[in-house]
Amino acid sequence: MPIRTIAEVARAVSLFFGGLFAGFLTTVLVLELTLRSVEGQTYTLVRQVELVRLDDLATATLIPALIATALVVVLTAKVRGHALRLTVTALALLVIVLVTSLLFNVPINGDQLAWDVQAPPVDWVSVRDRWQIAHAVRTGAAMLAFGCLSIAAILTRSTTRPATSSQGAVPDGLARRTPGAVG
């Protein structure tokens, strides 16, 4: 299989899982903001229910997004341009998401699983706030990464389109521009 085809598939996988992950984190952020008005027992119960499978979903979407994005960077590193810079930026943002998760969210998740629903710890509000701030950071980074991946995909698509003239296809990575053309 040609490297170009592998890169295109990796870009599609990156975009798909990056979008799913960003959407998932946004949904959790909305839920968490809604939970700010509830008492400790309700918060603890909902968090423990969330943690039954949501960590699995996070892993199942973030890891493929990271791997596919890294693969796109490696396979397209020789083709300099905006698409590569955006993809590298997206990869860096996804790494920030992973590091934030591992340093802040995952340890707090483990602690919250051990909380007694009937008697949450006295500092549950400050723990909730730390988790939510870290989650907001990673959600923002994931959304920016998805935006970068989306724009990079559009740029890549517009620069690898075959020419419509009788002169044949445009070489890989080069765009045929005509006066007045949008792109």
pTM for the whole structure? 0.85
For the chain, the residue count is 183
Range with lowest mean pLDDT among 49-58, 79-88, 116-125, 152-161? 152-161
What's the average model confidence in pLDDT over 36-56?
A: 97
**Hey, what are 48's tokens?**
């423990």
Nearest alpha-carbon partner for 93 in 179, 22, 36, 43:
22
Range with lowest mean pLDDT among 13-17, 79-83, 115-119? 79-83
Cα distance between the two ends of the chain: 29
CA 37 to chain centroid, in Å, comes to: 28
- Segment 114-166, tens digit of pLDDT: 999 999 999 999 999 999 999 999 999 999 999 999 999 999 987 655 555 44
Range with lowest mean pLDDT among 64-68, 88-92, 111-115, 153-157? 153-157
Backbone torsions φ then ψ of 160, nearest 5 degrees: -120, 10
The span from the CA of 32 to the CA of 81, in Å, is 39
Range with lowest mean pLDDT among 76-85, 100-109, 123-132, 168-177? 168-177
27: pLDDT strictly greater than 90 = yes
The span from the CA of 181 to the CA of 175, in Å, is 11
User: Per-residue confidence at 7, pLDDT binned at 50, 70, 90?
Assistant: very high
Please classify residue 180 by burial: count the beta carbons closer than 10 Å to its beta carbon, then call 0-12 exposed, 13-18 middle and 19+ buried.
exposed
Determine contact, residues 142/94, Cβ cutoff 8 Å. yes
User: Per-residue confidence at 28, pLDDT binned at 50, 70, 90?
Assistant: very high
